[in-house]
Amino acid sequence: MLFLKRGLMAAGALALAAMLLNFVAPRAAHAVVATAVQVMNTSATPVPTRDVDAAGRSAYTIECHSAGASCSTAVVPSGYTFVLDSISFYANYAPPLPAVTGCTMALAPAAPTQNVYRLTLTPDLYGGAYAATNLTAYVNGGSSIFLGCWPSPYEVNGVFAGHLVSTP
């Protein structure tokens, strides 16, 4: 009987020790990890962060419309960069003019061969052409977007969607 009593007492002591370790060990381990991964965010050494909602809060759309072969958008506000995410446009023609066969988009001001994008067209039943595509392009503040099509249509309409990012 004494042997059984001592065995139960030892088992109770082990259970009590396990319960104490369960309460003490996670806090001690957390304290060790917290001191090992401490981030100092001072003005001398700022920690970079990313605002994942910034694109939605600064959505920006510009358009161009022209009764001719090309059009230019309004100028992007200075102090910002326009991150272009998508473009959609329509070029129309009037018979006897030939159907539209090509269009390009250029980010101005730039040299004629820089920042030029050839756009894939889908012809419609009436000789015009349209396109809608996602792309990523950057337009600096004070610049605009130029859209041109050939042969000369009598109307060009473009919508450029994206968001503004402030530039330092």
Instruction: Residue 32: give the domain boundaries.
Output: 1-49
* 89 and 158 both lie in a single domain: yes
* 78 and 31 both lie in a single domain: no
pTM above 0.85, yes or no: no
* 17 and 89 both lie in a single domain: no
Task: Report the alpha-carbon distance of residue 87 to residue 38 in Å, rounded.
Answer: 45
* 73 and 147 both lie in a single domain: yes
Task: Report the alpha-carbon distance of residue 143 to residue 63 in Å, rounded.
Answer: 14
* 6 and 74 both lie in a single domain: no
Token pair for 39 = 């981030």
The H-assigned helical ranges of the chain are 2-36, 54-57
- If one counts the domains in the chain, the total is 2
pLDDT tens by residue, 38-68: 667 777 777 666 655 455 567 899 999 988 8
Task: Report the alpha-carbon distance of residue 92 to residue 158 in Å, rounded.
Answer: 12
**What's phi and psi for 113, nearest 5 deg?**
-100, 0
Per-residue model confidence (pLDDT) at position 16: 72
* Residue 140 near residue 96, CB atoms below 8 Å: no
* 79 and 128 both lie in a single domain: yes
* 99 and 141 both lie in a single domain: yes
* 78 and 41 both lie in a single domain: no
* 73 and 43 both lie in a single domain: no
Q: Which CATH number does the domain housing residue 141 bear?
A: 2.60.120
Give Dmax (Cα) for the chain: 114
pLDDT tens by residue, 60-110: 999 999 888 888 888 989 888 888 899 998 888 776 667 777 788 888 765
Average pLDDT over residues 100-124: 75
Residue of higher predicted confidence among 5 and 137: 137
* 15 and 94 both lie in a single domain: no
**What's phi and psi for 9, nearest 5 deg?**
-65, -40
